[in-house]
Amino acid sequence: MNVLVIGSGGREHAICWKLKQSAKVGKLYCSPGNGGTAKDAENVELKVSDHKEVIDFCKDKQVDLVVVGPEAPLAVGIADDLEKAGIKVFGPSYSASRMESSKIFAKELMGRYNIPTAAFRIFDNIEAAEEYIREVGAPIVVKAYGLAAGKGVVIAETVEEAVDAAKSMLVDKQFGSAGSKIIVEEFLTGEEASILVVTDGEKIIPMVTSQDHKRIFDGDKGANTGGMGAYSPAPVIDEKLFDEIMKTIIEPTMEGLKNEGIIYKGVLYAGIMVTLEGPKVLEYNVRFGDPETQVIIPRMKSDLAELFMAVAKGDISDQQVEWDEKEYVCVVLAAGGYPGVYDKGKTISGIEQAEKEKAMVFHAGTKEKGTKIVTSGGRVINVVGKGNGIEEAVINTYRAVEKINFEGMQYRSDIARKAIDRAKN
């Protein structure tokens, strides 16, 4: 089969890297891709927002399957238009994608089907939001209701910080229309984990567990980012807790969607907080996480192309997914200044040396410039190592990280520290 992957991040490079290994894949394209996908696929420049252009390309190149990586194209119905054109697609429909594109839709669905989540209120004017924040107090969470590239969530430790966040979204329009309404919700304490499943709308196949690191600095300090690192498995989720999450969160979510007349095909990601009262949903995503994908996909021993096509066809009943039992760790190398203003065009060195350390190097914000690879985004490189045990995986990953360099490079030095501490206790 010929496959087109849409996206340009580390997630898409990991997907391309895995698809390339499938004997079932003929020609592999990635749009727009990055400096790393150029080695595993043919990068093509498509205006992804122009669905006709994407469809025409697929027909011209006899593309059998489109894999949509990021959330933005799904939120405007690219999966619907591809399916109408007779092209198989891995990714949920417009209506299903509201689980991520509208936090209000997701929250209200959870309320209707008794899915455990944080208590919340919805506001569209700053006066009412400020009054509620001051009444409830801090810590408290303020979220833009729509898509904000993973940056529309503020965990406010003081009332003034929460009010400022609400003003930036509702008044200053920091996230445009995505912040025209906000959700102010209860701050949950506990440990986070990411639960991903693939589904054809009926059957569910769980992925292995993982844990992301959202904050920019060590010790979970500083601003929220798209993710600074991840590891798999997440030891906070044992077998008993995993079964509870499936029964109280994932299965009711799928049933709820069906009851709403929505057939969900693709991957569903639930960000979970493990609280003293049990697991609760922080948020849903309608695509693979980034950087969680970079530690989940390398653990998969099965054929990813076969699984994606089965989902696209609407029947995964004969799919069996096997996993590597080793521990995997991903460290994100980011541009100086990220998640704020950062420079581009910095030459990256040491990638081949890192790969000689038996690490996987997945590109994100990179592009080819002549014979060089240069920075072109905030999160630049993902270094993934593995080991027999989490401590060995961390050592192997950071050994490879030390081989890579570019001007202004920053990264967290404590990825998977919680997992190491848990293993020792």
- Residue 425 predicted with pLDDT over 80: no
Torsion sign over Cα 159, 171, 108, 69? negative
Write the class of the CATH domain 3-93: alpha beta
Mean of pLDDT values over 29-35? 98
220-225, long-range: CB < 8 A, 24+ apart? 223/151, 223/339, 223/340, 224/150, 224/151, 224/153, 224/154, 224/155, 224/339, 225/150, 225/151, 225/334, 225/338, 225/339, 225/378, 225/379
% of residues, the chain, pLDDT over 90 = 91
- Which pLDDT value is given to residue 125? 92
Rg (alpha carbons) of the chain, rounded to whole number: 21
pLDDT of residue 153: 86
Topology agreement, domain 125-180 and domain 327-424: no
Which string of b and e fits 33-68 if b means at least 16 CB within 10 Å?
Answer: bbbbbbebbebeebebeebeebbebbeeeebbbbbb
* Residue 12: predicted pLDDT: 98
- Residue 149 binned pLDDT confidence (cut-offs 50, 70, 90): low
Q: Please give the C-alpha separations between residue 48 and each of 10, 52, 308, 418, in angstroms, as whole numbers.
A: 18, 9, 20, 39
What tens digit of pLDDT does each residue of 35-89 get?
999 999 999 999 999 999 999 999 999 999 999 999 999 999 999 999 999 999 9
SS3 for 108? helix
- With b for 16 or more beta-carbon neighbours within 10 A and e for fewer, the 254-265 pattern comes to bebbeeeebbbb
pLDDT digits (tens, 9 = 90+) for 378-400: 999 999 999 999 999 999 999 99
pLDDT tens for 178-217 read 888 999 999 999 999 999 999 999 999 999 999 999 999 9
Could you report the per-residue pLDDT of 279-323, keeping only the tens digit for each? 999 999 999 999 999 999 999 999 999 999 999 999 999 999 999
- For 125-180, the fitting CATH number among 3.30.1490.20, 3.60.20.10, 3.90.1170.40, 3.40.50.920 is 3.30.1490.20
Using a cut of 0.75, tell me whether the model's pTM lies above it. yes
160 pLDDT band, cuts 50/70/90, is: very high
| pLDDT score at 147 | 79
Whole-number average pLDDT of the chain: 95
Domain ranges, ordered by start, for the chain: 3-93, 125-180, 191-313, 327-424
Give the Cα separation of 129 and 134 in Å (integer).
Answer: 9
Average pLDDT over residues 224-241: 94
Q: Which fold has domain 191-313?
A: D-amino Acid Aminotransferase; Chain A, domain 1 (3.30.470)
**Rounded mean pLDDT of 362-377?**
97
Q: Which CATH superfamily is domain 327-424 in?
A: Phosphoribosylglycinamide synthetase, C-terminal domain (3.90.600.10)
What confidence score (pLDDT) does residue 146 get? 80
